[in-house]
Amino acid sequence: MEYTIIRRTKFEGSTVEDMLSIQKTAKTLEEAIKYTTALKMLETNKNNNKVVFDIVINIEDAFKYVNTPLVLNKEVA
């Protein structure tokens, strides 16, 4: 499944909606969390919490993932 990290810039007190931009894509959730953490560290105290990073997935990928049968390779005790 592919994970997409989105940067959301909030515009408060304006008629303009939030600005969204794709920052990075990752193949695993662990990679996505690492990228998100690094991006948050780079943005610290620059924009007074107006920038938020979100991890999103495609709904079709999630549906395929949920409906894939789980195959156990080893016996579980």
Six token digits for residue 55: 């991890």
* Confidence at residue 69, expressed as pLDDT on a 0 to 100 scale: 80
Q: pLDDT for 29-67, tens place per residue? A: 899 999 999 998 888 666 666 888 999 988 887 788 788
* Confidence at residue 77, expressed as pLDDT on a 0 to 100 scale: 60
The number of CA neighbours under 13 Å toward the Cβ of 40 is: 12
Listed in sequence order, the residues at least 6 apart from 37 whose beta carbon sits closer than 8 Å to its beta carbon are none
Q: pLDDT for 5-34, tens place per residue? A: 999 888 877 777 888 899 999 999 899 999
> pLDDT: is 3 or 58 the higher one?
3
The residues pairing with 56 across neighbouring beta strands, listed in sequence order, are 4
Cα-trace Rg, the chain: 17
* Confidence at residue 47, expressed as pLDDT on a 0 to 100 scale: 61
Characterise 72 by phi-psi region: left (phi > 0), alpha (psi -120 to 50), beta (else): beta
